[in-house]
């Protein structure tokens, strides 16, 4: 698994949690986030609403190409269906 470069804030209820237990918890969180943030899962939960063309795009190819655009067009909305 690729180790992403991210900062995580982990709040721990137990003040006696060891350093190794905290590292294990962060590793598990990174694994979950890596899975959830994959392009396949993002495309399942996202649709593109293009008000200029009066269309809704739900295919992976159209969603990925819209998300990768550097300059977004006006009235094109990224809708998370969750």
DSSP labels, 30-78: HHHHHHHTSHHHHHHTEEEEETTTTEEE-SHHHHHHHHH-SSPPTTEEE
SS3 67: helix
- Given a cut of 90, whether residue 78 has pLDDT beyond it is yes
Average pLDDT over residues 38-45: 89
Q: Which residues contact 11 (CB under 8 A, 6 or more apart)?
A: none
Is this model's pTM higher than 0.75 or not?
no
CA distances to 34, 48, 60, 62 from 42, rounded to whole Å, are 11, 12, 9, 12
Average pLDDT over residues 28-37: 88
- Given a cut of 90, whether residue 54 has pLDDT beyond it is yes
């Amino acid at each position: 698994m690729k180790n992403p470069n991210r900062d995580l804030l982990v709040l721990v209820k137990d003040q006696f949690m060891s350093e190794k237990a905290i590292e294990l918890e962060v590793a598990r969180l990174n694994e979950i986030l890596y899975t959830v943030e994959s392009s396949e899962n993002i495309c399942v939960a996202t649709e593109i609403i293009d008000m200029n063309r009066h269309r809704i795009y739900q295919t992976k190819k159209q969603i990925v190409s819209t998300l990768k655009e550097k300059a977004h067009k006006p009235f094109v909305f990224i809708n998370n269906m969750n």
